Amino acid sequence: MADPAAHVHHAIDYIELTVTDMAAAQRFYAAAFGWAFTDYGPGYAGIRVGDREAGGLRLDDAVRAGGPLVILYSDELEATLAGVAAAGGAVVKPIFSFPGGRRFHFTDPAGNELAAWSARGA
């Protein structure tokens, strides 16, 4: 499990890139930037930078408009969800669990999709 002390509440914490060919993406980013990866199965690989995971490659059929998914960290995920909704954001994926934590996705009033995650309560 991730160390919650290593994350800053409501800071940009992780960037998730959608890819259509996991092997090709890993070859490209390893060759271009020296990135290393942690494979979590055929559909997801974490991007290791130094001693932390800074992002991920997520396999999908197509790359969606809007680019990478920006993921914020939250010390209190339910409170963050409530704050997003109160501020006019729309929750597009309610809180769900994944290895290492929980997260939800939302859109801002302009339609940008972001996510917030927490290692707490995993």
Locate the DSSP E strands across 1-122: 12-19, 36-39, 44-49, 52-59, 69-73, 90-98, 101-107, 113-118
- The more confident residue out of 106 and 121 is 106
CA distance 50 to 36: 9
Stretch(es) of the chain classified as CATH 3.10.180.10: 17-67, 74-122
Long-range Cβ contact pairs of 33-41 (< 8 A, separation 24 or more)? 40/99
**Model-wide pTM > 0.85:** no
pLDDT, one tens digit per residue, over 2-27 is: 566 778 898 888 899 889 999 999 99
CATH number of 17-67: 3.10.180.10
Position 2 scores a pLDDT of: 59
Task: Using a pLDDT cut of 70, give the percent of the chain over it.
Answer: 95
Fill in the amino acid letter for 59: L
Position 101 scores a pLDDT of: 95
Position 1 scores a pLDDT of: 44
Average pLDDT over residues 103-115: 88
| Total H helices, total E strands in the chain | 2, 8
User: Which architecture, in CATH terms, is 74-122?
Assistant: Roll (3.10)
pLDDT, one tens digit per residue, over 34-67 is: 899 999 999 999 999 888 899 999 999 988 777 8
Q: Give the closest residue to 56 by CA, choosing from 27, 22, 7.
A: 22
